[in-house]
Amino acid sequence: MCPYCWHRFKPEDVLFIANHPDLMGDPVLGPEELQRFLPSRFTPEGLALDSGGIVCPDMACPRCHLRIPAALLNQPPLFISIVGAPGSGKSYFLASMNWRLRTTVPKLFSLSYMDVDAITNHWLNEYEEKLFLQADDVAWQSIDKTEMLKQVGLYRQVTLNGMNVFLPLPCMFSLQSDETSHFCRTTGKPVGRSVILYDNAGEHFQPGADSSMNPGTHHLVHAEGLFFLFDPTKDPRFRRIARSDDVQLTQKGTVQRQDVLLVEMIARMRKYLGLGAGARVPKSIVLAVSKADVAGRSDRSARRPLGMDASHRCHALDLSRLPKCRFLRGRFLCGTHRDCGGRGILREHNCVPAEQRTRPQSYSQRTGACGAPL
C-alpha cells in the first residue's frame, strides 16, 4: 500500500523513476520531476532501464507517482496516526516518542528500528536534532508549528483525476526482529513491519477540513494504532484546577473544544470504512495527555511498565503498570467522551500521561513563543 495516497497495488505494477536528464516532466508530479514509467528493459542483474539506457533503482507509486522506498514492498505497513488540536504538542510528542523507540526497541526487544532512508525521514530527524542533539543544553529549543499545506517537506501537491491534491509525506521506519528476539524464536523466521508515522497540522482534524483535494487524514482509516493527544491547557475545566504558575495557563485565546475533534475523527473513520451510525469503529486508541505535568494529576506511583516476562523470556509491556490519568478518565472519558459518542464506539482505549521532560514553561519576549530549556 502506498503511504502517501493509500493506493493498493501489486509489486509488478510499481513504477520506476527515470534517471536520464532528458526524461523530465511527469503528468502527475509536474514538469520539474523525472518521468515515472513501467519498465520493459532490464540489466542482467534485473535492474530497470529507462528509455535513455540509464539504470533506475528508485520506485514510485502507480497512482500518485511519489517515491516509495524498496523496504515498503518487502514488509507490510503499520500505520500509526496522531490526532490533536492545533498547538497541542503533536510534533513534540512524535519526536520524543520516536527518539525513545530508537533506544528502547533494540535494547529490550531485540528489534532493529531504523530509518527507511534519510530523504524520507528528514523532517522528523530535524525535530529530534532540535530537541535532543544540541550542544547547548540550556538554550531555547522549539519545533515550528505544523502549518496546513504550507510546510515544506510535510505535504506534496500532485495531480490526480485532473485535480490538484495535497498529500502528506510521512516518516517511515523498518522494524525488524533478529535471531535472538521472541518473535523469531516463536515463528522460526525474522518478522518485520514498515512503521509509517504522520505529522498533520491540527487544523486538518477540524470539521470541514477533509475534502477530495485535501485527503491528508485518510491514514486514520488504515491506522492500526491511534493516539488522541489531549491538551489540558486548552480545556477550561482543567485550567481552573491546574497549577497557575505555568505561562500556558495564562495565555488568552488558547481554549478549544477538543471533544469536537474526537467526534470528527470517529465520523471520518465511520464514513470511509462504510460503517453505520451506531457501529463500533474497529480501532484501538490511546488518549495521551500532553503537558500532563501542568495538570499535575498523573499517578507516578506505578512501576516501570516495561519488564521481563519470565514465561516468554522477553520484555513486555504491562498495561497495569502504566501511569493513570485518573482525573482525565473521570472527567473527560466519563463526561465529554461519553457525550460525544466515544464510549462504546472505539474498540478499546487507554489513557496515559505524556509529560514534559523540561523545566517549567516560560514566555520568550523575543520569539513570542512558550518553551523551556531541555
For the chain, the structural domain boundaries read 11-66, 71-371
Tell me if residue 23 falls in helix, strand or coil: coil
Phi, psi dihedrals of residue 319, rounded to the nearest 5°: -65, -30
Determine the residue type at 355. E
DSSP 79: E
Distance between CA atoms of residues 334 and 173, nearest Å:
36
- In the chain, where does DSSP find H-type helix? 71-74, 90-109, 122-132, 182-187, 219-222, 236-241, 258-273, 292-295, 326-328, 338-339
DSSP 166-230: EEE--EEEEEEE-TTSHHHHHHSS--EEEEEE----GGGGSTT--BTTB-TTTHHHH-SEEEEEE
- The pTM assigned to this predicted structure is 0.76
Spans of the chain below 50 pLDDT: 297-298, 301, 327, 329-330, 332-345, 357-374
What are 295-334's pLDDT values in tens digits?
554 455 455 677 777 776 677 777 666 655 554 544 544 4
Segment (H or E) for 284: strand 281-290
Q: For residue range 181-214, list pLDDT tens digits in order.
A: 666 667 666 678 899 988 777 777 777 777 777 7
- Overall fold of domain 71-371: Rossmann fold (3.40.50)
Distance CA 52, CA 196 (A): 34
